[in-house]
Amino acid sequence: MKQYAYYPGCSLESLGKNYHISALEVSRELGLELKELEDWNCCGATAYFPVDELLAYTLVSRNLAIAEKSGLQDFVAPCSACYKNAYFTNSYLQKDADLAEHINYALEADNLHVNGTMKVRHLIEVFIEDVGIEEIQKKVSNPLKGLRVAPYYGCQLVRPRKAKEDVENPQYFEGLLSALGAEPIEYASKTRCCGGSLIITNRKAALDMVHKLLQDAVKNNANVIATTCPMCNVNVEVYQSQVNREFGTDFSIPVMYFTQLMGIALGIEPKRIGVGASMLSLAQSTVS
Amino acid sequence: MAVELSFSKEIENIMYASHGKPIKDCLQCGTCSGSCPAVEFMDNSPREIIGLISADFKKEVLASNTYWTCASCYHCSVRCPAGIDIADMMYALKRYSMWKGEFQEGLIGPEFSESFVKMIVNSGRSFEPLLAATYLPKFSARDIVQEGLMATGLVLSGKMPLLPKKVKRLKNLQRMVRRIIPIGETK
Amino acid sequence: MNTQTKLLIIDDDPDYVAGIRSVLEKAEYSVDVAYNPKDGFQALQSKQYDLLLLDIMMGRGAEGIALARKLRKDPKLRELPVLIITGIREQIAFLFPGQPVHPHFVELDELVEKPVEPKLLLEKVSALLKMAEEKKSQAKK
């Protein structure tokens, strides 16, 4: 069983709990073990950078250092913001010796040392690259036939650019959904932003962004929106009713973590992946 | 007497470590503004902000809500034909305005950043006020939203202490923070 | 006069720099300025200075601390006296609930908080220069 250093991030302990449990269940089903980092801290999301970027890198480095100490090779984050922060901090540690030295001076205070040797990955990448689409497809016992899913990548999963990957029109999420038997829809908003923390700092702007996303997904006949990030999930799910009030719309499209859809397709008991009855009937009604 | 340094140079200096190209390379093509999902809510589009910086319109830039309306989605950064990391520039402007304590009145962004950083320095974990809603029964979205709004307001006004999980080695974490930012010892 | 004492200021705030620069120049010091840590370090490597006046919050964050630490590890710059002049308590006030700025992150430093009275500035500068001079002559003995 391949093991991964797993960094759940703060959201997965509260509103993103269903993401957490479904990530663990699906991983186990696919023969992967996510080992949660001991005593991890918050990565800071987007909030440190307006104050002190060096502090942001240091706090992220503490998690990377704890992961390195575990002897595992891969640092896996299910949250797009955590993933982006860990990915870039790790690469700056490799490139900037002065930065690494200064951060290590700070990490000494917790008896840690960071080298920047982890391979930082998002959970969806691990499933697609390490297990493989074909292998996943083989394990599907309950194909999501006829379920039209809007794959919602959001922003920080795909941006900023890391290497030469397609940041405008990625396709791997669609590939995964097809393997589950679902029908990924095409729509222009798949990599548009959900508003992120603007939901708190500029509610009007964020609701507008969520509104546009919902409109696009519904117009293209999606039955469900699948997310890869707890922030996206909260903004699109919880704030749907507020969008309706604000814009006079009547959206009621379910929003699920991609791991929950995987869990259903793999035949995992719904309650173990945080899927309620209404969600399940949706998935099943389209099957029949 | 030395000539005072221009505002555009100040911004260049605060961005000295940016991984993108300098903003003086901007072509004013507007790709950033066209890609920005929040542009309608900005006083000035990203293109205009760059133009204002280049023309040293310091007062106008500091008074603008533009960078505090940036959601950090990096669409502008990956598309900029001049290779400028525009989202990074927005962060630099946020720092500039935070450190000077000068920003448009009524913005929540600066306060939110402060509360967030404070929370992490105090506990090692974050717990976005909005997430307090977790404890409400599911499928009552209206309540969740109302609660979230209320909690946000309470936390920002400092009236509500939140109790997220704490890291175990909190003292070490705080010593670590003090090695980066030389705040005094907490007793 | 070619025996003039040479000072370097590394600070990103042009208004503030203009102020202390004129005070220092009136007191017959020769003053160079760098407005970011990278230019500052380059200046220190290309020319010999007698004292550094260093800001903390620049560029990405508390870069002055990183730079001061780097100097202490550099065999050529280790002895350079550093006067830290910072407005950090104003700049990120929310992190300083009545606490003083931590003064002990590098040896031989003096730290003063902005705004600095011209008289105090000149006193600190000459005191640090004197201390460094004494240290040097002791080392020679």
Q: For A105-149, write each residue's pLDDT tens digit.
A: 999 999 999 999 999 999 999 999 999 999 999 999 999 999 999
Domain encompassing residue C47: 6-140
Look at residue B159 in the predicted model and tell me its pLDDT: 38
Domain count, chain C: 1
Asked whether residue A99 falls in the same domain as residue A227, the answer is: no
Look at C69 and A51 and tell me if their CB atoms are within 8 Å. Answer: no
Residue B162 Cα to chain centre, angstroms: 22
Model-level pTM? 0.92
Q: Which residues contact A109 (CB under 8 A, 6 or more apart)?
A: B172, B173, B175, B176, B178, B179
3-state secondary structure of C111: strand
Q: Which of B80-84, B101-105, C99-103 has the highest mean pLDDT?
A: B80-84
B interface test, pick of C7, C10, C12, C56 with most B CB neighbours within 10 Å: C12
Look at residue C28 in the predicted model and tell me its pLDDT: 96
A103, A123, A143: which is the final residue of a domain? A123
Look at B126 and A10 and tell me if their CB atoms are within 8 Å. Answer: yes
Asked whether residue A112 falls in the same domain as residue A140, the answer is: no
- Residues of chain C neighbouring B89 (CB-CB closer than 8 A): none
How do strand C82-86 and strand C51-54 relate by DSSP bridges? parallel
Look at A50 and B129 and tell me if their CB atoms are within 8 Å. Answer: no
Asked whether residue A247 falls in the same domain as residue A174, the answer is: yes
Whether the pLDDT of residue B143 is over 90: the answer is no
- Residue C7: closest CA among C124, C140, C136: C124
Domain count, chain A: 2
In chain C, pLDDT over 90 holds for what percent of residues?
67
- Considering only the beta carbons, identify the residue of B116, B164, B176 that sits closest to A106: B176
Q: Which residues contact A34 (CB under 8 A, 6 or more apart)?
A: A4, A6, A23, A24, A27, A76
Asked whether residue A154 falls in the same domain as residue A64, the answer is: no
CATH of the domain at A115: 1.20.1050.140
Asked whether residue A101 falls in the same domain as residue A142, the answer is: no
In a domain, A151, yes or no: yes
CATH of the domain at A258: 3.40.50.11810
Tokens of C48: 């010999």
| pLDDT tens digits, A177-218 | 999 999 999 999 999 999 998 988 888 999 999 999 999 999
In chain A, pLDDT over 70 holds for what percent of residues?
96
Asked whether residue A117 falls in the same domain as residue A226, the answer is: no
B119-to-A9, A17, C34 alpha-carbon distances in Å:
15, 21, 35
Which of C 24-83 lie inside 8 A of B, CB atoms? 33, 35-39, 56-62, 65
A180-to-A113, A228, A237, A259 alpha-carbon distances in Å:
41, 16, 22, 11
Asked whether residue A269 falls in the same domain as residue A140, the answer is: yes
Look at A52 and C61 and tell me if their CB atoms are within 8 Å. Answer: yes
CATH of the domain at C122: 3.40.50.2300
Asked whether residue A94 falls in the same domain as residue A209, the answer is: no
Q: Give the whole-angstrom CA distance, residue C106 versus residue A102.
A: 13
A interface test, pick of C42, C57, C58, C60 with most A CB neighbours within 10 Å: C60
In a domain, C76, yes or no: yes
- Chains touching B (3+ CB pairs < 8 Å): A, C
Q: Give the whole-angstrom CA distance, residue B7 versus residue C10.
A: 17
Asked whether residue A26 falls in the same domain as residue A55, the answer is: yes
C134-to-A102, C129, C139 alpha-carbon distances in Å:
30, 9, 9
A138-to-A135, A148, A149, A265 alpha-carbon distances in Å:
5, 21, 20, 11
Confidence of residue A287 (pLDDT cuts 50, 70, 90): very low
- Residues of chain A neighbouring C62 (CB-CB closer than 8 A): 52, 54-55
> How many beta-carbon pairs below 8 A join chains B and C?
84
Whether the pLDDT of residue B93 is over 60: the answer is yes
Confidence of residue B94 (pLDDT cuts 50, 70, 90): very high
Residue A124 Cα to chain centre, angstroms: 7
Q: What is the largest CA-CA distance in chain C?
A: 48
Q: Which residues contact A278 (CB under 8 A, 6 or more apart)?
A: A254
Nearest chain B residue (CA) to C15: B4
**C20 min Cα distance to partner chain B (Å):** 11
| pLDDT tens digits, A11-70 | 887 778 899 999 999 999 999 999 999 999 999 877 788 889 999 999 999 999 999 999
In a domain, A95, yes or no: yes
Q: Which letter, b or e, does each residue of C35-56 get, where b requires 16 or more Cβ atoms within 10 Å of its Cβ?
A: bbbbebbebbeeeebbbbbbbb
In a domain, A128, yes or no: no
Look at residue B141 in the predicted model and tell me its pLDDT: 46
- Residues of chain B neighbouring A91 (CB-CB closer than 8 A): none
- Considering only the beta carbons, identify the residue of C59, C92, C103 that sits closest to B17: C59
- Residues of chain A neighbouring C69 (CB-CB closer than 8 A): 102, 105
DSSP-derived secondary structure letter, B107: -
Q: Does A55 touch chain C (CB under 8 A)?
A: yes
Asked whether residue A241 falls in the same domain as residue A212, the answer is: yes
- Considering only the beta carbons, identify the residue of B77, B112, B142 that sits closest to A47: B112
In a domain, C1, yes or no: no
- Residues of chain B neighbouring C93 (CB-CB closer than 8 A): 101
Q: Does C92 touch chain A (CB under 8 A)?
A: yes
- Considering only the beta carbons, identify the residue of B40, B134, B172 that sits closest to A14: B134
- Residues of chain B neighbouring A201 (CB-CB closer than 8 A): 68, 107-109, 112
Instruction: Quickly tell me which residue has 């010593």 as its tokens.
Output: B175
C115 preceded by cis ω (within 30°)? yes
Tokens of A251: 């959206």
The mean pLDDT value for B150-154 works out to 49
**Which residue ranges form the domains of chain B, and what is each CATH number?**
7-100 (1.10.1060.10), 109-180 (no CATH)
In a domain, A157, yes or no: yes
A123, A155, A175: which is the final residue of a domain? A123
> How many beta-carbon pairs below 8 A join chains A and C?
25
In a domain, A66, yes or no: yes
Asked whether residue A110 falls in the same domain as residue A177, the answer is: no
Look at A160 and B78 and tell me if their CB atoms are within 8 Å. Answer: yes
Domain encompassing residue A102: 2-123
Q: Give the whole-angstrom CA distance, residue A152 versus residue A193.
A: 10
A interface test, pick of B42, B117, B118 with most A CB neighbours within 10 Å: B117
Asked whether residue A79 falls in the same domain as residue A182, the answer is: no
A92, A123, A154: which is the final residue of a domain? A123
